[in-house]
Amino acid sequence: MAPPRAKTTAGSKELRGVDLTVTDPIERVNQFLAFARSGEYDGFDHDLLATHLHLKDASTKGTVTFHFKVPAAYCNRMGNLHGGAAALIFDICTTCALVPISKPGYWQFAGVSAGLSVTYLRPAPLGNEVEVFCEVVNAGKRLATLRGEIRANGKVLMIAEHMKASIDPPLEPESKL
């Protein structure tokens, strides 16, 4: 018989949105990531978020830049960033580009992935310092298109296109009383 699993918050039904009282884009993205980086969260991406991805910049135009040093845990047998790990990094980082533009009823809960396409142009070897730049290409009421690049030494290593669907509940209409 397998031992019981430790209590996890990864599958929690609690919806954690963006704290819209935070106006500075960098602070807002850091606040959005704070729970996933905390000891309360034990999802499979916890180590990546808590240890390896570092926010460098964010803007109200819907851009974010992260810094990342490729660790062995995310490499394939050839000593390069694994394609699945790159997709995970793009999933997280492109989603963060939505955070600075969110408002009540508009990407406040950062949506769910509808599609993620990654093109691998060059390897990112173990120990390399890379930059992950992501931007909102378009964000409508229900769908968003996001774009990301992993770069090193002035060269684009990988690019991603991420489609997201909004999960924001409808706003309550204001009372006319």
pLDDT along the chain (177 residues), means of 10: 46 65 95 86 88 97 98 98 98 97 93 98 98 99 98 98 94 71
Q: Which fold has domain 25-165?
A: Thiol Ester Dehydrase; Chain A (3.10.129)
For residue 175, which phi and psi values (nearest 5 degrees)?
A: -70, 140
C-alpha angle 96/154/83, rounded to 5°?
55
In the beta sheet, which residues pair with residue 67? 54, 131
Q: What is the dihedral of CA 152, 29, 73, 116, to 10 degrees?
A: -80
Contact 170/105 with Cβ under 8 angstroms? yes
Structure tokens at 12: 């929690």
In the beta sheet, which residues pair with residue 134? 64, 148
Q: Please tell me whether the overall predicted TM-score, pTM, comes out greater than 0.85 for this model.
A: yes
- DSSP-derived 3-state class of residue 85: helix
